[in-house]
Amino acid sequence: MARSSAPAIYQIYPRSFQDTTGSGVGDLQGIIRRLDHVAGLGVDAIWLSPIYVSPMVDGGYDVVDHTAIDPRFGTMADFEALIEKAHGLGLHVYLDQVLNHTSDQAPWFQAAIDGDDEKADYYLWRDPRPDGGPPNNWLAQFGLPAWKWNHKRRQYYFHQFLPEQPSLNLRCGSVQNLIAAQMKGWRDLGVDGFRFDVVTAFLWDESLKDNPPATPEVHRKVAGEVFNPYTYQDHVYDMLPGDGATYAENLRKWAGDDAYLFGENTSGNSSIELAMAFTEPGRLDSVYTTDLPENRGNPATVKDMVDRSDSLQRIAGWLSSHDQPRHGRGDASDPVLALQMAFLPGPWIIYQGEEYGLPQPDLAREDVSDPLDLLYWPDGPGREGARVPMPWDAVADGYAFTAGTPWLPMNWDRADLQRAQAQLSPFYRQIVGLRRDLGWGTAKVTECTVIGDLLDLTICATNGYTYRGLFSHGAGDFRDPPTGDPVVTANVLCPNLVSKGWYGTVWKA
Ligand code: GLC
């Protein structure tokens, strides 16, 4: 299948999608079972969060072996069946590639600890300072010190996330060869593209200089909660925009010209500019930043993205994920935001369950295992809430996710769910279809005006027509909306919408 442009991508977090064994954890056969639902939405592709062998300290983003399927998800035969079913339904399959780090249980890292110096070069090991302290002031993105002591090597190793996720030295030739081979292996199995985890964190400055303190402006923008010490630094030496962006040319070379490639930007500071650098010709197709989800897609953020980017085609839009709290409120705002996302040019990532209007659930501390959530508990939105499994059936036991005990408690409101499945889900189908058929995804923004919480967006679509979308985020009516029949309105779903000030309608201009 040819490489998509501006695909609508449905993100599946496999642990929480569909269990077929009664283990309480989702699996590949479960994804196969539910692919008709996904294809029915009209999306172009699925992105699978990691399915590789992992001790799951970081929810699968701590990979032991990138070439093998974790047995809790199934087998390679299941994966091949999944590819076949997806392709049969016209869906592309994009896999997560977690290249920035491995699990500390990975054989390469274990060999390095045991004194294998060739493998040691796969990571960043450094002697202590004369006083025994770490080599510099770098902090890991979750807020812990970025260096962990290993008494066997009597050295520190660098980790940008958890200590269980040692950072890979992606400049090392042997590491590059291994990555190229692993990506080729997945392409040979029929994989159509890749999502690169934390692509903006891949490289560091080899001088290993201390990061300077963040100015108040940078502090506000660095990814992470304001109480996370990581936001107190300006990450000029541990994240390298210039060099880092050209590295994406390797990713393109290894993945192939026909693969759809998108990356995650974990640098809140200069997020859009970095996204542009990573998506120059010969690099990635798109990058997604946290601007939209962190601001629940508000008009000012959309305008800021339009103003700072050359083209929204190079930025994937999204509102929820396995890392960000669900944006659903179960009210009028959900269909308005969905329509705004469908109308916004560029790729669109839909997180599993947002078509069911799922809100962010509360979890008790004893149910939570995510190390980031526990680090700051009960503060911060936390990540595990968004990972509570999919409720497929509002009345069935275990919501038809599992015949066993789900790995996180599921307490979805059954009446709300029933309503959303009857109304919001068909609306997603309608707008994903309009986006594709009218060429909104591949459109260009021609005008973007924001007045407070009102967004007035005009796009020139690839079907040759111009469309105008008006979106009010709780601010009430526009004074002079176009007359005539709209192409689509979010307001029909919730008649009380306008009174609540949420409003979203698209007209042909
Ligand atoms: C990405 C993943 C997140 C993970 C982190 C480290 O941000 O989306 O879940 O914890 O990378 O791999």
Q: Note the pLDDT tens digit of each residue in 461-483.
A: 999 999 999 999 998 878 888 98
For 34-89, write each residue's pLDDT tens digit.
999 999 999 999 999 999 999 999 999 999 999 999 999 999 999 999 999 999 99
Cα separations (Å) of 198 from 10, 202, 321, 430?
A: 19, 7, 14, 32
Burial of 455 per CB tally in 10 Å (0-12, 13-18, 19+): buried
Count other C-beta atoms under 10 Å from residue 504's C-beta: 28
Ligand 1 pocket member 223 (CB < 6 A):
no
Determine the CATH number of domain 101-169+205-238: 3.90.400.10
Q: Half-sphere exposure (CA, 13 Å, Cβ side) for 346?
A: 26
What is the pLDDT at residue 497?
A: 53
pLDDT in tens, 264-287: 999 888 999 999 999 999 999 999
Query: Best mutation site among 94, 197, 289 for ligand 1, i.e. most ligand atoms within 8 A of its Cβ?
Result: 197
> Which atom number of ligand 1 is nearest to the Cα of residue 322?
9
**pLDDT value at position 494?**
66
Instruction: Give the phi and the psi of residue 445 in degrees, each rounded to 5.
Output: -80, 130
Which regions of the chain carry the CATH code 3.20.20.80? 8-97+193-198+240-437
Q: Could you tell me whether strands 92-97 and 45-48 are parallel, antiparallel, or unpaired per DSSP bridges? A: parallel
CB 261 within 8 A of CB 194: yes
How far is Cα of residue 280 from the mean position of the Cα atoms in its chain?
Answer: 20
Residues of the chain with CATH 3.90.400.10: 101-169+205-238
Sign of the alpha-carbon torsion through 331, 335, 340, 345: positive
Classify the phi-psi angles of 46: left when phi > 0, otherwise alpha if psi is within -120 to 50, otherwise beta: beta
Give residue 100 CA to ligand 1 midpoint distance, Å: 10
Q: What digits encode the pLDDT tens for the residues 488-508?
A: 999 877 655 555 789 999 999
Average pLDDT, rounded, for the chain: 95
| Rounded Cα gap, residues 45 and 310, in angstroms | 25
Say if residues 476 and 470 touch (Cβ distance below 8 Å). Answer: no
Binding site membership of 96 for ligand 1 (Cβ less than 6 Å):
no
CA 55 – ligand 1 centroid, Å:
15
Task: Tell me how far apart the alpha carbons of residues 251 and 197 are, in angstroms, rounded to a whole number.
Answer: 12
- Fold classification of 8-97+193-198+240-437 (topology level): TIM Barrel (3.20.20)
Distance from residue 228's CA to the centre of ligand 1 (Å): 16
Single out the residue of 284, 291, 283 nearest to residue 308, CA to CA.
291
The C-alpha angle with vertex 483 and arms to 477 and 487, in degrees rounded to 5, equals 90
Q: For the chain, report the end-to-end CA distance as a whole number of angstroms.
A: 34
Q: Is 255 helix (H, G, I), strand (E, B) or coil?
A: helix
Give the whole-number percent of the chain exceeding pLDDT 90: 91
Domain(s) labelled CATH 2.60.40 in the chain stretch across 444-508
Q: What are the pLDDT digits (tens) for 212-222? A: 999 999 999 89
d(CA 322, ligand 1 centre) in Å: 9
Residue-wise pLDDT tens digits, 333-376: 999 999 999 999 999 999 999 999 999 999 999 999 999 999 99
Cβ–ligand 1 contact at 455 (below 6 Å): no
Residue 245: closest CA among 223, 267, 224, 225: 267
Q: What is the layout of strands, in order, in the sheet containing 466-473?
A: 444-451, 454-460, 466-473, 502-508, 488-489
**Spatial distance between the Cα atoms of 468 and 407, rounded to a whole number of angstroms:** 44
Query: Which residue type is seen at 350?
Result: I
Residue 485: what pLDDT? Answer: 93
For 94-117, what is the mean pLDDT? 98
Alpha carbon 199 to chain centroid, angstroms: 12
Rounded to 10°, the helix 28-41/414-437 angle is: 60
User: Does 3.30.160 match the CATH number of domain 444-508?
Assistant: no
H helix and E strand count, the chain? 13, 17
pLDDT band at 175 (very low <50, low <70, confident <90, very high): very high
Strand 193-196 to 155-158 pairing: unpaired
Close Cβ partners of 52 (under 8 Å, ≥ 6 residues apart): 60, 63, 64, 65, 66, 67, 68, 69, 70, 98
Asked whether 57 lines ligand 1 (CB < 6 A), one says no
**pLDDT score recorded for residue 380:** 86
Nearest residue (by CA) to ligand 1, atom 12, is 61
- What torsion, rounded to 10 degrees, do the Cα atoms 237, 165, 389, 197 define? 40
288 lines ligand 1 (CB under 6 A): no
Closest by alpha carbon to 408, among 416, 399, 420, 417? 399
Q: Is 61 in the pocket of ligand 1 (CB under 6 A)?
A: yes
Tokens of 6: 């501006």
Q: Please report where in the chains the tokens 């501006």 appear, as a residue.
A: 6
CA 223 to CA 387: how far, in whole Å? 20
Give the length of the chain: 509
Ligand 1 pocket residue status of 348, Cβ below 6 Å: no
Q: Is 58 in the pocket of ligand 1 (CB under 6 A)?
A: yes
Question: What does the pLDDT look like over 192-250, one tens digit per residue?
Answer: 999 999 999 999 999 999 999 999 999 998 988 999 999 999 999 999 888 899 999 99
Q: CB of 197 closer than 6 A to ligand 1? A: yes
Q: Are 48 and 31 in contact, with CB atoms under 8 Å apart?
A: yes
For 299, residues 6+ apart whose C-beta sits below 8 A from its C-beta are: 450, 452, 453, 454, 455, 471, 473
